[in-house]
């Protein structure tokens, strides 16, 4: 068995990273792709390694020769790499291919050691390594039957998104017997080049063989094993995360602040969304209108404030719409004056927008970080503040002040000339949601300097749309913020979502009811875990104190490493005692929550 590596490509999509070197010279976490691949191949019982070079081939050959003296490595040069595709590179190496069984690889791959082990141990002499289709995958796909026979290769032009549930992505690692190469592949390769030219891909030949010749190429699914193909800068960043050491992987995932759909198998218990909304029917309606929403401009702030007002049943001149609540928080905190009362621990997007000397902090003096309206009034009555922030329910504690308490706070704030800011992004999950929300014209008008923030992303399960609203009867504030944000600050998809929401409002109400049922079940389960102290919550997450033998960091790390589950380690959040450890666990659907519960049970010593 020999290995053949295709490394002639220019890697144009990587821009500056491949300006003076070929793709396989890229470093992923300090190790070049070619070094990683060669060392993995050296661990196998191979007769030799053949590398087809092209772009910056001299540099690559010099580097490998210096780095691995005495190794049986043969180079084949493709002098017209800029005018051909990999079919020609393979053709140039045909004499080597015909002489031995061959492990064929592309040089822009990174994969764990077990991938090559699976290929070598596979009972089938001719096989293609494949992985079940995921949203991030691009390139050649295959369809396989119940016996893992490849029945068709699907090139990019024939790709259908409606068929993705049947697709497997080729990993671009193949194991071919000498007989298959000599009797099937090379004859078809020669004919294909003669008829269609050299600017093609070698998978096209495999597609033809599959369609007209009974060559018996098998698929070897490696779903669950880590691998990645690096074509652009984003691929490089993702690969660095996937193949980082466990501490670095956690740090990089936490530092990406989302985008976890790119990481196959990762279960996100960190970010907070409604797991039961929107329903399939609403998603279907949005899909059906995808093209006009993509091609047309969204409406401006005037129209979108009308839609948001209809959404929540308040006057349109009391409403400003944001590209997520984060945009509105930035605008709001940029215009408030004086000291700002902040209750810790909290959602730090607000205090992060302020200088430290403007924050007047209150720390609850109990183990559950709970507080009442009276606690707040008592503390701030002797403090000089211009605004008071109440996140209700609070994040991460889940503490909640009821409607009566909020009304008392609002009256107190009005009397003191304090602007009350209430963020009720999680209020719809509360047991008394309908009675607690302040998004009513009468309430806003009774307290004209109060403003109410709400993140649509969190409650309504659409974080990808980036939607948030702020409501206030203070029209000067609303006018300022409408001008402060961009006129087209939300896109057409977010606008259309607000437009059609009314048809699905009953579904939303039911989703919140279902969520509250799930929260009660999940809380009982979490309380069975001996190393967690679960703090009661009215939101869609639980703050838990982590008890020995774990720390919050160690528990977060083990859940990621052993179960691909990501949770929020609260160590970095302000307001927690230095000698105690806390995590925040999102509440998801029953299937995911069971998976989390079982993972936690699996860590019980």
Q: Do 356 and 418 belong to one domain?
A: yes
Among 186, 212, 238, the domain boundary falls at 238
**Structure confidence by residue, pLDDT tens digits, 450-463:** 999 999 988 899 99
Residue 15 sits in the same domain as residue 76: yes
582: pLDDT confidence band, cut at 50, 70 and 90? very high
Mean pLDDT on 567-590 = 94
> Rounded to 5 degrees, what angle do the CA atoms 314, 439, 285 make?
70
The verdict on 37 and 107 lying in the same domain is yes
Alpha-carbon dihedral 200, 206, 209, 214, rounded to 10 degrees: 180
CATH number at residue 308: 3.40.640.10
Residues 6+ apart with CB under 8 A from 383: 339, 341, 360
- Residue where one domain finishes, among candidates 453, 481, 504: 504
How many structural domains does the chain have? 3
pLDDT in tens, 385-402: 999 999 999 999 999 999
- Considering the domain architecture, whether residues 59 and 161 belong to the same structural domain is answered as yes
238 band by pLDDT with thresholds 50, 70 and 90: confident
> Are 143 and 202 a contacting pair, CB within 8 Å?
no
> Which pair of structure tokens corresponds to residue 353?
């927008």
Spatial distance between the Cα atoms of 602 and 605, rounded to a whole number of angstroms:
8
Residue 239: what pLDDT?
A: 86
* 488 and 578, same domain (yes or no): no
Beta strands 419-423; 387-391: pairing state: parallel
Pairing of β 141-144 and β 150-154: antiparallel
Q: How far is the CA of 111 from the CAs of 38, 58, 102, 248, in angstroms?
A: 12, 26, 18, 17
* Residue 43 DSSP code: T
8-12, 137-141, 225-229, range with greatest mean pLDDT: 225-229
| Highest mean pLDDT pick, 232-241, 260-269, 457-466 | 457-466
What pTM did the predictor assign? 0.84
Q: What's the CATH code of the domain at 527?
A: 3.90.1150.10
Report the SS3 class of residue 212: helix
Question: Which is it for strands 127-132 and 168-176: parallel, antiparallel or unpaired?
Answer: antiparallel
428 and 557 belong to one structural domain: no
Residue 15: left if φ>0, alpha if ψ -120 to 50, beta else—which one?
Answer: left
- Tell me: do 258 and 314 sit in the same domain: no
On whether both 497 and 413 belong to a single domain, the answer is yes
CATH number at residue 188: 3.90.550.10
Distance CA 583, CA 234 (A): 29
Which residue range(s) make up the domain with 514? Answer: 243-274+507-602
Q: Based on the number of CB atoms within 10 Å of its own CB, is 176 exposed (0-12), middle (13-18) or buried (19 or more)?
A: buried
Instruction: For residue 465, name the pLDDT band (cuts at 50, 70, 90).
Output: very high
Least confident stretch, 256-260, 368-372, 574-578: 256-260
User: CA 103, CA 213: separation in Å to the nearest integer?
Assistant: 21
The CA-based angle 73-74-78, given to 5 degrees, is 135
Distance CA 290, CA 121 (A): 46
pLDDT in tens, 474-509: 999 999 999 999 888 999 999 999 999 999 999 999
Q: Is there a single domain that holds both residue 449 and residue 552? A: no
Q: Are 261 and 392 found together in one domain? A: no
The verdict on 328 and 432 lying in the same domain is: yes
Q: Does residue 429 sit in the same domain as residue 292?
A: yes
Domain boundary residue among 504, 527, 562?
504
């Amino acid at each position: 068995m020999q290995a053949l590596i295709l490394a002639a490509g220019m890697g144009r999509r990587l821009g500056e990273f491949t300006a003076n070197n070929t793709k396989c010279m890229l470093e992923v976490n300090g190790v070049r792709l070619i070094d990683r691949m060669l060392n993995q191949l050296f661990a196998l019982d191979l007769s030799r390694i053949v590398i087809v070079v092209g772009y910056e081939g001299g540099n690559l050959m010099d580097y490998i020769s210096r780095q691995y003296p005495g190794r049986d490595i043969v180079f084949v040069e493709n002098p017209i790499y800029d005018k051909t595709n990999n079919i020609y590179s393979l053709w140039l190496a045909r004499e080597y291919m015909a002489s031995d069984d061959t492990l064929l690889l592309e040089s822009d791959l990174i994969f764990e050691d077990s991938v090559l082990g699976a290929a070598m141990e596979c009972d089938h002499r001719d096989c293609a390594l494949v992985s079940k289709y995921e949203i991030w995958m691009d390139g050649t796909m295959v369809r396989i039957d119940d016996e893992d026979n490849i029945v068709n290769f699907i090139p990019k032009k024939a790709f259908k998104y409606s068929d993705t549930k049947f697709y497997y992505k080729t990993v671009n690692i193949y194991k071919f017997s000498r007989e298959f190469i000599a009797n099937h592949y090379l004859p078809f390769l020669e004919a294909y080049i003669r008829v269609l030219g050299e600017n093609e891909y070698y998978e096209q030949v495999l597609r033809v063989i599959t369609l007209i010749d009974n060559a018996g190429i098998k698929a070897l699914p490696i779903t669950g094993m880590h691998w990645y193909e690096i074509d652009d800068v984003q691929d490089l960043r993702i690969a660095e995360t996937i193949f980082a050491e466990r501490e670095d992987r956690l740090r990089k995932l936490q530092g990406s602040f989302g985008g976890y759909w790119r990481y196959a198998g990762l279960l996100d218990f960190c970010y907070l969304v409604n797991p039961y909304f929107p329903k399939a029917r609403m998603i279907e309606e949005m899909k059906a209108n995808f093209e006009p929403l993509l091609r047309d401009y969204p409406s401006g702030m005037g129209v979108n404030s009308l839609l948001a007002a209809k959404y929540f049943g308040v006057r349109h001149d009391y409403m400003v719409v944001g590209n997520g609540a984060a945009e509105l928080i930035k605008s709001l905190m940029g215009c408030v004056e004086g000291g700002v009362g902040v209750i810790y621990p909290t959602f730090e997007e607000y205090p992060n927008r302020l200088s430290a000397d403007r924050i007047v902090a209150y720390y609850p003096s109990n183990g559950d970080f709970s507080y009442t309206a009276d606690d707040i009034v008592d503390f701030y009555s002797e403090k000089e503040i211009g605004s008071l922030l109440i996140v209700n329910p609070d994040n991460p504690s889940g503490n909640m002040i009821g409607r009566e308490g909020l009304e008392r706070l609002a009256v107190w704030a009005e009397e003191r000339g304090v602007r009350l800011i209430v963020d009720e992004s999680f209020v719809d999950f509360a047991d008394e949601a309908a009675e607690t929300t302040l998004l009513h014209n009468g309430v806003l008008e009774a307290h004209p300097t109060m403003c109410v923030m709400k993140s649509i992303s969190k409650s309504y399960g659409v974080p990808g749309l980036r939607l948030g609203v702020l409501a206030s009867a203070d029209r000067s504030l609303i006018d300022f913020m409408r001008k402060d944000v961009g006129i087209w600050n939300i896109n057409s998809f977010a606008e259309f979502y607000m437009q059609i929401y009314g048809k699905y409002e009953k579904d939303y109400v039911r989703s919140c009811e279902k969520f509250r049922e799930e929260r009660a079940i999940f809380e009982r389960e979490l309380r069975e875990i001996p190393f967690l102290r679960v703090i009661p919550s009215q939101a869609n997450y639980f703050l838990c104190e982590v008890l020995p033998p774990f720390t919050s960091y160690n528990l977060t790390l083990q859940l990621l490493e052993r179960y691909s589950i990501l949770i929020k380690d609260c160590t970095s959040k302000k307001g927690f005692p230095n000698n105690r450890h806390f995590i925040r666990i999102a509440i998801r659907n029953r299937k995911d929550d069971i998976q989390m519960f079982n993972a936690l049970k699996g860590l019980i010593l």
